[in-house]
Amino acid sequence: MVMARFVPRVHRVLCIIPASCRGGILDTDRRDHVRLVHHESHSTCRQGARNQRQAVNGDSSLVFRVLGVKMCRRVMGAVMRVVPVVMCSFMLWTGESHQIHVDRIPTPPSIEELARAADVIAIGAIDQVTDIQRSSGTGFTSPWMECRLKISQLVKQDTRVSAASTVLTFWVMGSHNSYEIGFRPFQKGEELLVYLKMASGIDGYVLTFGPESAYKIKNGTLQPFGRSAVARQHDGKNVGSIVAALHRASSVK
């Protein structure tokens, strides 16, 4: 609406200037009809041209002020559209949970190879998950989750685990507030099938291939945490059929 009031006026003034330079100035009546008024004096013509240039400059500065207001409004509109995204990102960053990237070696393509890489394969329910700090070098610590699994079945075991063991402890990198991308902390009472390996660096069991080595058991079927090919081979399968396949594998006893 503001632009509609000033742009036509500028247009009329810009059209006046060429006529003024030919020996006259333009005047307008109330109906906005243009009437050319001739003057005998060249000095009057020059004065009229100066007046018209001042009018153009005045109207132009007014238009620029209007454009400035509109540009300011556009900038503010853009800022208001960006601010919620920035605030959302800030809230995610400063919220209660963050995700971290972990570089891992490639996951084996088959269930048999995954079983062969694991030292222990166990089925059980999560009894407790505790955030701890473990040493990762001289003067440095890193966050880990200590997971206690109440064993219901040992599919594979090494010499460090007794066949009579009822509880198995393993560690997962991260904490309840900062954990691996695509993963999440285990929950108390959650039934799992896990593939574990002894990690010499922390002197304890860890998931052999991170999220690709853990499977939630719900109504007797497996739900993977990972997205690899071997994770998809577990997806929706009956836990009994997977255990049978693991026992049939030559490397699992």
Residue 203 has pLDDT above 90, yes or no: no
Q: pTM of the full predicted structure?
A: 0.61
Mapped onto helix, strand or coil, the DSSP state of residue 153 is strand
45: three-class secondary structure by DSSP: helix
Percent of the chain residues topping a pLDDT of 90: 47
Chain segment 142-199, per-residue pLDDT in tens: 899 999 999 999 999 999 999 899 999 999 999 999 888 889 999 999 999 999 999 9
Domain over 102-248 is classified CATH 2.40.50.120:
yes
Band of pLDDT at residue 200, cut at 50, 70 and 90: confident
What is the model's pLDDT at position 182?
81
Query: Minimum mean pLDDT among 48-52, 72-76, 131-135, 234-238: which range?
Result: 72-76
Domain residue extents for the chain: 2-94, 102-248
**Rounded to an integer, what distance in angstroms lies between the CA atom of residue 202 and that of residue 200?**
5
Cα–Cα distance, 176 to 186 (Å, whole number)? 9
DSSP 238: B
Phi, psi of 232 (to 5 degrees): -65, -30
Query: Quick one: DSSP state of residue 108?
Result: P
Q: Report whether 48 contacts 32 (CB < 8 A).
A: no
Q: Are strands 24-28 and 34-38 parallel, antiparallel or unpaired?
A: antiparallel
The DSSP bridge pattern shows strands 191-199 and 214-218 to be antiparallel
Distance, CA of 227 to CA of 215 (rounded, Å): 11
Dihedral over Cα of 60, 61, 66, 68: its sign: positive
Closest CA to 110 of 253, 1, 252: 252
Q: Per-residue b/e over 207-228, b at no fewer than 16 CB within 10 Å?
A: bbbbbbbbbbbeeebbbbbbeb
User: Which pLDDT does position 136 carry in this prediction?
Assistant: 72
Q: Look at residues 241, 178, 249, 179 and name the one whose alpha carbon lies nearest to residue 210.
A: 179
Q: Which residue has the higher pLDDT, 241 or 252?
A: 241
Mean pLDDT of the chain: 74
DSSP 127: E
pLDDT given for residue 15 in this prediction: 38
Q: What is the pLDDT of residue 131?
A: 96
pLDDT computed for residue 140 by the predictor = 84
pLDDT of amino acid 57: 55
37-84 pLDDT, tens digit each: 344 444 554 565 566 555 545 554 544 454 555 564 664 554 444 333
pLDDT band at 250 (very low <50, low <70, confident <90, very high): low
